[in-house]
Chains A and B, each alone.
Chain A
Amino acid sequence: MNSVSVPVSVTPTVTGMSTRRVIGAYLAEVRSECLRYMRAPAFMLPIMLLPTMFYLLFGVIMNGAAGADTARYLLVSYGVFGVISPGLFGFGVSLALERDGGLLTYKRALPMPPGAYLLGKMLMAMAAAAVVILMLLGMALAMGHVALSLQQCALLLLTGVLGVLPFCALGMLIGTLIKGQGAPGMLNLIYLPMSFFSGLWVPINLLPKTLQQIAPIWPSYHLHQLGLAALGMQHGGAVRHFVVLVGFAVVSFIIATRRLRRYG
């Protein structure tokens, strides 16, 4: 060919990304994850309404004359019940659908910072859990006449916001096992029985003896105990429950990430 030399580099060859832009990418991912679910009422309404309506009915209206301890116990029960669902469904359903619809593949092909996808969903679930707990606290204080100190309220909120994480991990694991539309049904098959057997609907001491004995196999049982401790109704053992939940979360998360890496 001819011997005219052409200046080669017209396109920018700098590909390093500044730390500020990497953080920006994480924030953008979190922001759009929150936005897309806040705009999806079919997703947000059940998460918000189910625990609040249950609490209003069983905790406030039907228990108007019950003692202060019962009222606080029910607040924790429905709080935990409400915190599980953004974790299980927020992670599980969206992951199952996005694996099916090709969004996950697309994001893996893009230079999305590693972990931003999971972090976005995690913070979304934590925000939803915070909203659920705040709504229940508002109802408890305004209508249920539950006596709570500011510190107890804060501790319960913290329990909820962090307590959603083991269920994010469980939802993620199930989301890697099931693809597409089957996920919501499967998750309900776990969510509802687990809530019942760990004493979130019916106080645990009213359950048959054997169910009481096996209740500690459910992560929701341990979160319930932690919630009770936050309101000063349980003394001792909080560390053990905390360790069980962390262990459960870590194991589920490791299995789920391995599956994701292997099967996509």
Chain B
Amino acid sequence: MHTQTDAVARLCGVVKRYGHLMALDGVDLVLRRGELLAVLGPNGAGKSTSISLLLGLIRPDSGKAELFGMDPQQIDARRRIGVMLQSAMLPPTLRVAELLRLVASYYPHPRPLKESAALAGIDDLLNHPYGKLSGGQQRRVQFALALCGRPELVFLDEPTVGMDIDARRKLWSAMRNLVAEGCSVVLTTHYLEEAEALAQRVVVMAKGRVLSEGSVDALRAHVPLARIRCATDLDAEAVAIWPMVNAAQRDGDRLVIHTSEPENVLRRLLDADASLSALEVQRAGLAEAFTELTRDDEQQEAA
């Protein structure tokens, strides 16, 4: 179904070095039309470098970066994207409406000012100087600037850093609206629940390489881990040495077991303690999968 023409942005075998530091070591990445792709990874994984390459801010040492089949440094390619960078100090004395008008002027078919403001939820801030806004409000203005040009692709670099939960949820719903309009989104984030809530596809990076790529479910399945919680008198240390049990420990009056085969462990658990109660079984979240993936990488590195 997905053909080559579906790709709106791609990195092909990209290598980027900063002096002796290998920032990207042969990265392949494809973003398809209309999808929200989350790029996850610890600091220094190469997320920002990948974004900078796709924006044409830096050039690869080898390999290729493409936006809509063009060189990202071509202005015609960038007229189809919107950008929200992690740290950009915008002119503090300009009012929000003036900033919106300025950035919209760069695009061929921008949204009307009111529409951009409504999408980002900043209708009430238009006449405020940017410098007088709170951190969360400034992030929302930056989001409005990212979408004001009616882009086909939006890059959001850590968009919800410094936002409270309410503001974060609002931005999430604004992102969903963008995707519903057919806009593609590349999102880098430290918040795994953000990727879990929004992304159709997740790429996990570490040390300049792509470790895994796939749907949120596929990523979870990568780490077939489940967590069992129950109230029981069984000894944690005894359970920990059962086959197929990865770990077991006490959490107050509950016993918590990590296992890759919950069915077998449960059978034995119920046999061993007939009075067992308050049973919960949970699939591993993205957070566990992520930790597992990046830890594997470190172990390989050490070996």
Contacts and interface: CB of A to CB of B under 8 A. Distances in A.
B182 A11 contact: yes
B103 A39 contact: no
A25 B94 contact: no
Interface stretch (A12-20, A216-224, A235-243): A12-20
How many A residues touch the partner, as a band? 35 or more
B182 A24 contact: no
Contacts, number: 93
Interface string B85-103: 1111111011000110111
Interface stretch (B106-114, B133-141, B292-300): B106-114
Nearest to B146: A110
Contact of B93 (A29, A35, A110): A35
B75 A113 contact: yes
Given A11-B182, A105-B85, A110 B91 contact: no
B152 interface: yes
A95 to B, nearest CB: 13
B39 interface: no
B146 to A, nearest CB: 10
Contact of A103 (B57, B90, B106): B90
Contacts of B254: none
Given A21-B108, A109-B57, A110-B103, A101 B93 contact: no
A24 B105 contact: yes
A35 B109 CA distance: 25
A36 B150 CA distance: 26
Given A35-B94, A264-B57, A106 B79 contact: no
A102 interface: yes
A14 B75 CA distance: 14
A12 B99 CA distance: 24
B9 interface: no
Nearest to A100: B89
B76 interface: yes
Nearest to B149: A111
Given A11-B152, A110-B78, A36 B57 contact: no
A40 interface: yes
B108 A112 contact: no
A10 interface: yes
Contacts of B79: 15, 17, 111
Contacts of A24: 105
Contacts of B274: none
Interface string A2-42: 00000000111011111001001101110110011101100
Interface in A86-106: 98, 101-103, 105-106
Contact of B101 (A11, A28, A108, A264): A28
Instruction: Report the 9 A-B pairs with minimum CB-CB distance, sorted nearest first.
Output: A101-B89, A28-B105, A106-B88, A39-B93, A111-B78, A102-B88, A111-B79, A109-B55, A36-B91
Given A102-B89, A110-B78, A111-B79, 20 more contacts: A11-B182, A17-B79, A17-B107, A18-B108, A27-B105, A28-B102, A28-B105, A32-B98, A36-B93, A98-B89, A101-B87, A101-B89, A103-B89, A106-B90, A108-B56, A109-B56, A109-B83, A111-B106, A111-B107, A264-B57
Interface of B: 1, 55-57, 75-76, 78-81, 83, 85-91, 93-94, 98-99, 101-103, 105-109, 129, 149-150, 152, 155, 182-183
Interface of A: 1, 10-12, 14-18, 21, 24-25, 27-29, 31-32, 35-37, 39-40, 98, 101-103, 105-106, 108-114, 264
